Structure 1
Amino acid sequence: MSAHVCRAAAVSLTGLDGTVVMVEAAVSQQLPGMAIIGLPDAALAEAKLRVRTATGQIGLPVSSRFVTVNLSPAALPKHGSGFDLAIALAALAASQQVPESDMSDTVHLGELGLSGELRRPAGLLTAVVAARAHGFARVMVPSSCVREAQLVPGIEVVAVAGLLDAVAWYRGERRIAALSTGTPGRAEPRTSEAHASAASHPTFAGDMSDVIGQPEAVEALVVAAAGRHHLSLLGPPGAGKTLLATRLTTILPPLTDDEALQASCIASLGGDTLTSLVRTPPFESPHHTASTVAIIGGGHGSAVRPGAITRACHGTLLMDEAPEFNRDVLEALRQPLESGTVEIHRSNVRAVLPARFQLVLASNPCPCGNAGSVETAIQCTCTPIARMRYQQRISGPLSDRIDLRLNLHRVSQALVNADPGHRPTSAQLRERVIAARSRTAHRLRHTPWRVNAEVPGTMLRGAFKLDRADTAVLDQAYARGAITMRGYDRALRIAWSVADLAGIPRPGRPELAQALALRGGDRT
């Protein structure tokens, strides 16, 4: 007599991409034991010990015979402990201790403890989003992270504290459902989102009014925020580079619904449980000793972990002391800056992670930091060759992908003692940025782009083409080799951002001249 095969659904994550895995279990006439097949990693292969111990602890040992568990599709590498709940339920159903009905129509997410309790698996929110995308109407999750699962609208959430509650739910003892089931359209997820929106700009991030005596730099940051342009800050120590860079996030608009869900999915890959969507633009500032994998992303085997550029998606990535970063790390940024994604390739897995971040490079002009200083008491002690080598650590191709380049100087004592009352606050500047982005979104409403930094050069020189009389300043700079074609397009994007901030329908010669100046004048 053939063994009856019971199935329970789960989700396998590769980066932010989720694939539905059907956990199949069958009991055979062999000595007691369990085998898991279908390319599990070490953590997943150990699930057989967790499952056998947990089922025994709750008084429902899986079987006195041999249980074979297959993870289908078998050719897909699988990793992590998030399959434990599905494996346990499929094994119990195969040993006829749990009804099999609805088990294959529900996605099960949870790691088992030895006493039968359930814990949150990494990437739970991402797995729920994948379950909804594949047409599932219900997910079963640990009760400790029910609010995180309910952030995804349009899917029913059944929360169980442990394996015994999951068994009771399938046996028809639905008393736990009234406490822990979220139905599509329920108001609780939206309440969490509203709470997140109210805290979009926390006070600990500081305020732009903290910046003293750098009005041109502050205005340049507003332009960068309006168009989501990349920014380079060059200046001696104490000029305010880090202060300006950290305040950029405070003038960015809150994330849209789609951006918030994606940013929350990225955050869910960590170990913390989310209670609301991420509405604040993320901010990442890795140390200059960070490796390429830490910045770009990577992992071992089939486990792909996002790097800093993915965690900063829809936000800001600050690389302070940029020339001190490893050259390979800096060069690895070039492709994500253009495409907005990063591809992770391993021998048996390929993952595409989002990387639509705003880059800020902060650097000193030389190793000692005093090159070009106007203070007579501070002189540069670096040799010319040392200064040249230091500046060349940021390559020409990477520098060409930076939209705005600012030279900063130390603030004089007179400005330090000036009245702070006239300094613009982050709230005031954010209103300008929001208004500018609204004009941009209206202009780009029939295109796939939302901000000026995303518009390709073919559109800038085509549908949004400007008069030749206005672009003469850029044409002359390009003719003498002062800017590349990529630099030409980026100057056009900056000009559109300047025009959107000014509230004019299209940039003219003054806006183009300002864009060229913000890009560094005649420097390539």
Structure 2
Amino acid sequence: MITSTFGGAVYGVSASLISIEVNIVQGTHLYMVGLPDNAIKESQHRIESVLKHIGCEMPRQRVIVNLAPADIRKEGAAYDLPIALCILQASKQYALRQLGEYVIMGELALDGTLRSIKGALPIAIEARAKKFKGFVLPQENAHEAAIVNNLDIIPVKNIQETLAFFSGSQHIEPLTIDTREIFAEKVQSYALDFADVQGQENIKRALEIAAAGGHNVIMVGPPGAGKTMLAKRIPSILPSFNLHEALETTKVYSVVGKLGKQGTLMTSRPFRSPHHTISDVALVGGGTIPQPGEISLAHNGVLFLDELPEFKRSVLEVMRQPLEERKVTVARAKISVDFPANFMLIASMNPCPCGYYNHPSKECVCPPSAVQRYLNKVSGPLLDRIDLHIEVTPVPFDEMTAKRKVEDSAAIQARVIEARNIQQERFKKHSGIYTNAMMPSAMVKDICCISKLGQNLLKTAMERLGLSARAYDRILKVSRTIADLANSETIGENHLAEAIHYRSLDRQTWGS
């Protein structure tokens, strides 16, 4: 008797449905075909233990399990549950109805309880698109999948509950959640606030510009100047997630299994801060079947690289393409997947090996050549892709202990949102462009028009600083954002001068 049901396989941040077919014929042994990995092949032993535990038995005939389409590799233990159900149905130990109308996923423990799976959200989205009645999955993943409406989400704790549901002896109420209500309740809740930061007004101004235009930032300063503290507060001034952004980011976290037991829609922008020992594959994504890396986990949020020169050169260089294209393409022999990577890069570094170059009170003991060598650990092409270079100096004691009121994140965020609204109106006819930082070069010339005086100012800066063509575009984009914050339709010389000021790390002017 041939029995079939459906599961799902995740590739990139999207899912494909997998048909799971079981046939029992004369012979012995269990055979799995359809490019299963070792975890799926080992499911035979888990399933046999589970069937014995619930009072059933593994058929003593030839059991053929086919995972179709057969030319796509499948991985993971999440196929345990649908395979076990098909074996019980094919061997006539249970009469299970509507197996073909549901997508079923779940990893089995030896006693029949279900463990959580990865990628429940993209599988649920694909199940709805293919008009399935519902999705049966472990209880831990139910809230995650219930983000998708118009699909019955059936949470189960163990195989016994699943058998009771499909045999009709137990009704399980589909889980439903009000996604918009959850989103409205929890959106933009951050424990950190710029109100905690005394002084550093010029740095806050630069970070406000970065947040308003979606620009990349590098902060250079001595140890203890507050670089990390400032970086951690950047998500609190970014505009709140909209529902589309929240769903995009939640899909990435679902694929890597980082939503937690009560995982549901993400409502706060992610802040990722990988250690400097990270590999290039862990940063951009990869593997035999590619998985998202840190830059995709920072999608629609912030990627913070602390002590930038301590990262391996190869790790930093792989970010050059994602910073331009805002996506990562990982190619393998038989598969190529795209991961989203629309993030703000915030980097920090000491100015020299000892950390005190340009310090107002402590003397640097590094020779000029050592300062230059330290900066050379970060390549020129990568620095070109960072829009704002900020020098951070320590806060004086008197300013640190002052009792004056400090502007909080909400006030800064209000100005950022106002500038973003101007950009949204500007780019409403251009698909996939939402901020000034996302403008392609051809669009920069049309939108970032400057006066003759501004052209002369920029020409002088280009010649004296030795700026590249990419840096030229970055300056224009930043000046456009500064003008938006000032609610100015035109880019003035003062806006341009401030944008040029944020190119302090260009090599001809630093460490010499």
Q: TM (normalized to structure 1)? A: 0.91
Contact 1:160–1:176 under 8 Å retained in 2: no
Q: Does 1:334 align with 2:330?
A: no
Contact 2:274–2:305 under 8 Å retained in 1: yes
Please identify, of 55-64 and 234-243, the stretch whose mean Cα deviation from structure 2 is larger. Answer: 55-64
Find the counterpart in structure 2 of residue 7 from structure 1. Answer: 4
Which residue type is aligned with residue 330 of structure 1?
L
| Aligned pairs (5 A) from 1:204-353 | 206-268=192-254, 269-270=256-257, 272-299=260-287, 301-302=288-289, 304-353=290-339
Find the counterpart in structure 2 of residue 512 from structure 1. Answer: 496
Q: Following the alignment from structure 2 to structure 1, what is the Cα–Cα distance between the partners of residues 447 and 301? A: 29
Q: Following the alignment from structure 1 to structure 2, what is the Cα–Cα distance between the partners of residues 97 and 472? A: 84
Match of 1:55 among 48, 51, 54: 51
Contact 1:471–1:512 under 8 Å retained in 2: no
Q: CA deviation at 1:44?
A: 1.3
Contact 2:12–2:339 under 8 Å retained in 1: yes
Q: CA deviation at 1:450?
A: 1.2
Find the counterpart in structure 1 of residue 163 from structure 2. Answer: 167
Find the counterpart in structure 2 of residue 395 from structure 1. Answer: 379
Please identify, of 397-406 and 73-82, the stretch whose mean Cα deviation from structure 2 is larger. Answer: 73-82
CA, structure 1 residues 474+340, in 2 after alignment: closer, same or farther (shift >3 Å)? same
Contact 1:285–1:317 under 8 Å retained in 2: yes
Which residue type is aligned with residue 144 of structure 2?
E
Per-residue CA deviation, residues 134-165 of structure 1 (Å, 9 max, x unaligned), is 44342111223322211122322112222222
Q: CA deviation at 1:208?
A: 0.8
Q: Following the alignment from structure 1 to structure 2, what is the Cα–Cα distance between the partners of residues 152 and 471? A: 52
Find the counterpart in structure 2 of residue 414 from structure 1. Answer: 398
CA, structure 1 residues 509+416, in 2 after alignment: closer, same or farther (shift >3 Å)? same
Q: Following the alignment from structure 2 to structure 1, what is the Cα–Cα distance between the partners of residues 177 and 269? A: 24
Contact 2:107–2:117 under 8 Å retained in 1: yes
Q: CA deviation at 1:489?
A: 1.6
Contact 1:148–1:273 under 8 Å retained in 2: no
Q: Does 1:20 align with 2:6?
A: no
Find the counterpart in structure 1 of residue 458 from structure 2. Answer: 474
Find the counterpart in structure 2 of residue 491 from structure 1. Answer: 475
CA, structure 1 residues 472+153, in 2 after alignment: closer, same or farther (shift >3 Å)? farther
Please identify, of 409-418 and 98-107, the stretch whose mean Cα deviation from structure 2 is larger. Answer: 98-107
Find the counterpart in structure 1 of residue 143 from structure 2. Answer: 147
| Aligned pairs (5 A) from 1:434-453 | 434-448=417-431, 449-453=433-437
Q: CA deviation at 1:420?
A: 3.1
Q: Following the alignment from structure 2 to structure 1, what is the Cα–Cα distance between the partners of residues 152 and 490? A: 48
Q: Following the alignment from structure 1 to structure 2, what is the Cα–Cα distance between the partners of residues 187 and 17? A: 22
Contact 1:118–1:161 under 8 Å retained in 2: yes
CA, structure 1 residues 447+289, in 2 after alignment: closer, same or farther (shift >3 Å)? same
Find the counterpart in structure 1 of residue 112 from structure 2. Answer: 116
Number of matched residues?
505
Q: Following the alignment from structure 1 to structure 2, what is the Cα–Cα distance between the partners of residues 453 and 137? A: 43
| Aligned pairs (5 A) from 1:72-111 | 72-99=68-95, 101-111=97-107
Find the counterpart in structure 2 of residue 427 from structure 1. Answer: 410
Q: CA deviation at 1:195?
A: 3.5
Find the counterpart in structure 2 of residue 458 from structure 1. Answer: 442
Q: Following the alignment from structure 1 to structure 2, what is the Cα–Cα distance between the partners of residues 112 and 159? A: 14
Q: Following the alignment from structure 2 to structure 1, what is the Cα–Cα distance between the partners of residues 80 and 398? A: 65
Which residue type is aligned with residue 512 of structure 1?
L
Give the gaps of 5 or more residues in structure 2. Answer: none
Per-residue CA deviation, residues 469-511 of structure 1 (Å, 9 max, x unaligned), is 5444334434667322211221222122112212223423322
Find the counterpart in structure 2 of residue 44 from structure 1. Answer: 40
Match of 1:194 among 184, 188, 208: 184
Q: CA deviation at 1:282?
A: 0.6
Give the gaps of 5 or more residues in structure 1. Answer: none
Q: Matched residue of 1:61: which SS?
A: coil
Contact 2:239–2:413 under 8 Å retained in 1: yes
Q: Following the alignment from structure 2 to structure 1, what is the Cα–Cα distance between the partners of residues 118 and 228? A: 33
Q: Matched residue of 1:169: which SS?
A: helix
Which residue type is aligned with residue 350 of structure 2?
N
Which residue type is aligned with residue 437 of structure 1?
R
Which residue type is aligned with residue 503 of structure 1?
N
Q: Following the alignment from structure 2 to structure 1, what is the Cα–Cα distance between the partners of residues 409 and 22? A: 57
Contact 2:96–2:167 under 8 Å retained in 1: no
Contact 2:448–2:491 under 8 Å retained in 1: no
Q: CA deviation at 1:101?
A: 4.9
Per-residue CA deviation, residues 208-240 of structure 1 (Å, 9 max, x unaligned), is 122222111101100101111000101111222
Please identify, of 501-510 and 249-258, the stretch whose mean Cα deviation from structure 2 is larger. Answer: 501-510
Match of 2:132 among 125, 129, 136: 136
Contact 2:17–2:123 under 8 Å retained in 1: no
Which residue type is aligned with residue 150 of structure 1?
A
Which residue type is aligned with residue 328 of structure 1?
S
Q: Matched residue of 1:314: which SS?
A: coil
Per-residue CA deviation, residues 239-269 of structure 1 (Å, 9 max, x unaligned), is 2211211111221122111111121122222
Per-residue CA deviation, residues 439-477 of structure 1 (Å, 9 max, x unaligned), is 211221111111111111111213664555544433443
Contact 2:10–2:123 under 8 Å retained in 1: yes
Which residue type is aligned with residue 410 of structure 2?
A
Q: CA deviation at 1:343?
A: 2.2
Q: CA deviation at 1:19?
A: 1.3
Q: Following the alignment from structure 2 to structure 1, what is the Cα–Cα distance between the partners of residues 358 and 279? A: 31
Q: Following the alignment from structure 1 to structure 2, what is the Cα–Cα distance between the partners of residues 191 and 362? A: 37
